[in-house]
Structure 1
């Protein structure tokens, strides 16, 4: 994958949120549809305040019934235990055979704080600082097992090589974590971290910790500027900016079928309180994606259908084939893990790397 957008295959992802749906089967149908379109991953939103099943549980149920598409639940880092969060995400990566990601989010509402007996949540800036620390702790815990730590020697009764388990003693501003993890290192090494960088106070968390940053901006020129800024900030944190994918986040309404974009959209999305909204047909959307990608605005797109059942079908069967015909999007999955879909390397184990350097 090239680091310059517009000069390689773009990335496509979609939300599969279904308000008021308690059964896993409707989600499974949507995820299979997205997989049929060879999308990189799907996201499933979640909050403490929302009624319905836990997004991690839903996607863990869906994982064995799918084979290629990435699965990215929203996981709040507020009012949860970081040790349990990382273990649950690692388990999803094992269940999906290397297709897991997670989308850290915060819970700023008083109602959500009351659910766990807190008088009020901390300030948003503090919540996002905590989210970044949770992401940092998670990576350390995932690396607390080296890849070959499991030996499973029946003859001697030894399951694990203790020399390849590493102690983690993480002290954050609001929590501490001791390791090693209770789950072996995930198939991807580190499951993919997805952060909405347009959220207040989340920008620096995305630059420091995200593998994928979502940016909801209605103007492609401004989006390109934000992408460049995120890459620059990632480099300042000592990261390789080519290991960061920046996706344009758009809400889409394809309910009009094959027609031009709704008057007022000018061929593009309009800003709304919920984020940029695009209304038009599947062909119009393919043209917008093509133009933005060639302008270098983003590495791809994360699309949230207003009507998931209707709009995802039109996206997969209308927009995606046009992008494939234009040689902008894959026609099949060349790999099996989410990191492979995104063109991201499997990270080296930080503890094993330190041991090699000191030897």
Structure 2
């Protein structure tokens, strides 16, 4: 493993960033207790939070980052991440938008419809970062059930990912007719029941939202915790990891790719990004050193890219895009402009065909 960081790579480098700060998270110059509250948290007016998020998104888009995430949790108050990014979508043109969406205590049919709608609103730039809600406090907000063990929650999350994909596929691409003369909106022969039965829910389908522009919006899973790794290997287009060395990152990437292959997937369709909280005022060497680290880890095959969680977004994201990204471009490692229109284009992922159209399954 000593060769990590010394090889060169022709694989595209992928860069993403978090819109909300991550106080106390481990990483590169991790932020401390004084980090500001996330957008939409108490003390930040919703209108101010929305304007702030739009400004940050435009900054990232000007640097041609692949996508932006927006964290969310039932464990703290704040604006709904998916709704916030739906507000950002018409104010941006190219950057991918990936809200965190918990699959615990939520209705899978509604979740997939909301994500599909974001893909339509953003013209094919949506993804979703799957999360679970493991605490009793979160369960009590809903009052429906006790919090299951974390392993069970991630199994359920995988089933939500699976049924979402089936529901997105339940409309064939040309199912819409919109014939005003005959009053026909849809060809019902091209709508399909999914008839999914999971451990905790069942869904008949079809979806109420036409097939998204990307076919399937991009699925992101934070695979830091071992309990989430099989779900990531099975269902994720992008897996986020954390590691303290290139060797550790390379091992995690290999584990995830092997898992994807075991599930019958093409591991070449899985992107593994290092997620790290960065404070560019304490991080030794600043933006230039960060550029060297990114180039070394990516070039050595440890990761497919980096997901920056800025300790202070307004400061660190600005410095990252103006300095670190510029240095990577100067070395020919990162794009100077977007070459495609959708998030799948940015990530080099194929647009999947509807599984029902391909198999000829009936409604």
Q: Same fold (TM over 0.5)?
A: yes
For the structure 1 residues 345 and 5, does the alpha-carbon distance in structure 2 shift closer, same or farther, using more than 3 Å as the test?
Answer: farther
**In 2, Cα distance between equivalents of 1:286 and 1:227:** 20
SS of the residue 1:43 aligns to: strand
Q: Kindly tell me: are residues 170 and 119 of structure 1, through their superposed partners in 2, closer, same or farther at Cα, counting changes over 3 Å? A: closer
Per-residue deviation, 1:8 = 2.5
1:94 aligns with one of 109, 115, 120: 120
The corresponding residue for 2:10 is 7
Residue 344 (structure 1) aligned with residue 349 (structure 2): yes
Structure with larger RCO (C-alpha < 8 A, sep 6+): 2
1: distance between equivalents of 2:135 and 2:97? Answer: 26
Write out aligned runs for 1:277-292 (5 A): 280-292=285-297
Residue from 216, 222, 225 that aligns with 2:248: 222
| Partner of residue 145, structure 1 | 171
* Correspondence for 2:359 among 338, 347, 354: 354
Separation (CA, whole Å) in 2 of partners of 1:108 and 1:342: 30
> Aligned Cα RMSD in Å?
1.5
CA-CA distance at 1:168 after TM superposition: 1.4
**2:3 corresponds to which residue?**
none
| From 328, 335, 338, the counterpart of 1:333 | 338
Measured after TM superposition, the shift of residue 118 of structure 1 is 3.9
Task: Tell me the CA shift for residue 117 of structure 1.
Answer: 0.7
Match of 1:201, SS state, is helix
**What is the alpha-carbon distance in structure 2 between the residues aligned to residue 87 and residue 27 of structure 1?**
23
Distance 1:309 1:161 in 2: 48
Q: Does 1:244 align with 2:270?
A: yes
CA distance in 1, matches of 2:289, 2:245: 16
Regions of 4+ moved over 3 Å: none
1:137 deviation in Å? Answer: 0.2
- Is 1:33 the counterpart of 2:36? The answer is no
In the comparison of the two structures, how many residue pairs are matched?
A: 333
Greater Cα shift, 9-18 or 72-81 = 9-18
Deviations 1:61-110 (A, max 9, x none): 11011000000000000000000000000000000000000001000011
Q: Look up the match of 2:327.
A: 322
SS of aligned partner of 1:317: helix
Deviations 1:167-213 (A, max 9, x none): 11110000111200000000000000000111241000000000000
Deviation at 1:154, TM superposition (A): 1.1
Distance 1:236 1:342 in 2: 22
- C-alpha distance 37-88 of structure 1, shift in aligned 2 (>3 A): same
Shift of 1:120: 2.5
Distance (whole Å) between structure 1 residues aligned to residue 342 and residue 145 of structure 2: 42
The answer to whether the 8 A contact 1:9-1:327 is kept is: no
Query: How far apart, in 1, do the equivalents of 2:144 and 2:357 lie?
Result: 40
Matched-pair contact (CA < 8 Å) for 1:69–1:338:
yes
**How do 1:51-66 and structure 2 match up within 5 A?**
51-66=77-92
- Whole-angstrom distance in 2 between the partners of 1:303 and 1:100: 18
- 1:143/1:351 contact within 8 Å kept: yes
